[in-house]
Amino acid sequence: MKAILQEKFGGSETLYLGETEIPKLKEREVLVRVKSTALNRADISQREGKYPPPKGESEILGLECSGTIEDSNGSNWKVGDEIMTLLPGGAYAEFVAVHQNMLMPKPQNLTFEEATAIPEAFLTAWQALVRIGEIMPGQHILIHAGASGVGNAAIQLAKQIGATIFTTCSESKVNFCVDSGAKHVINYQKEDFSEVIKQKTSNEGVHLIIDFIGGDYLEKNIQCLAKDGKIIQLATMGGASTQIDLRKLMAKRGQLIASTLRSRTRDYQIKLTQDFWKFAERLFLNGTLKPVVDSVFYWNEVREAHKYMEANRNKGKIVLRVS
């Protein structure tokens, strides 16, 4: 089969379209013919040699895809069924092997490109909001990077749960975040988000913070955290180290929780997927929840797609059409 391969770790120029073996199915796996996949920041980190796949998983990039069942291997899925799924890796390829219980049916009102923008973004957001964050209707939540794939998914889900949403983004993405459902959009290029939140919440603060930035954001996150609030750290785009006064976090009885989804056990991911789809299926079918596709590249344009993400130009997901 054809796949996007890599000769060595480094920049986008190390990626190329080549040939490799079709994956062999293990027990309870199905073979998916990939129609499209999507870029994630983890792809860039793996490409640079900073984020290896879990042991025993494919070294090929790609954490999600949409496509059709090519071989069902005795599962309840039929050849030709249209699906979408989260993956530990391997989606930048014509075929990928997936555990049958990780699959979600592709909503018939969505294209393959739209469907592939759902799994990683919405499942990561669901985990942070519900499984870890335990967000409740009426609570205040701060979502950083609101125009990113996961940030946008978190805004949409938090709105359906009934939370009051604050988000940060650059000036060019403010309207996009408002349209997605954020009540208070903070332009981090011109405003101090901690001061805005203190003012808008009458110094109460927010109950949950979802952060992809890290670095110096942590101190300000603590400043705008409500009593017994949680900070969910999902990435460190702004730096992996900083200095804080732990007494301020302790005074608020706050929790700082770091999390990734890729390294979770398969059983955990299956349960997360099934819980999410039970909540979200009808909302995608009636258009209440919407995957946001910023742009679509053909997979032989993968280098340009990676450069586009690294320039932070996207609002929503960057999709690769596999053909």
Query: Is 191 found in the same domain as 99?
Result: no
User: Same domain, yes or no, for 164 and 102?
Assistant: no
Q: What is the pLDDT at residue 165?
A: 98
Q: First CA to last CA across the chain, in angstroms?
A: 11
Task: Identify the CATH number of the domain in which residue 113 sits.
Answer: 3.90.180.10
Q: Are 135 and 249 found together in one domain?
A: yes
pLDDT tens digits along 87-116: 999 999 999 999 999 999 999 999 999 999
In terms of domains, do 135 and 243 share one?
yes
Tell me, yes or no, whether 143 and 247 share the same domain. Answer: yes
User: What is the domain extent for residue 209?
Assistant: 124-258
Mean pLDDT (the chain) is 96
* Strand order, beta sheet including 206-211: 184-187, 164-169, 140-143, 206-211, 225-233, 255-258
pLDDT at 286: 97
pLDDT by residue (tens digit) across 250-270? 999 999 999 999 999 999 999
pLDDT, one tens digit per residue, over 218-235 is: 999 999 999 999 999 999
Q: 137-185, pLDDT tens digit by residue? A: 999 999 999 999 999 999 999 999 999 999 999 999 999 999 999 999 9
234 & 193 share domain: yes
Let me know whether 38 and 132 are in one domain. Answer: no
- How far is Cα of residue 65 from the mean position of the Cα atoms in its chain? 13
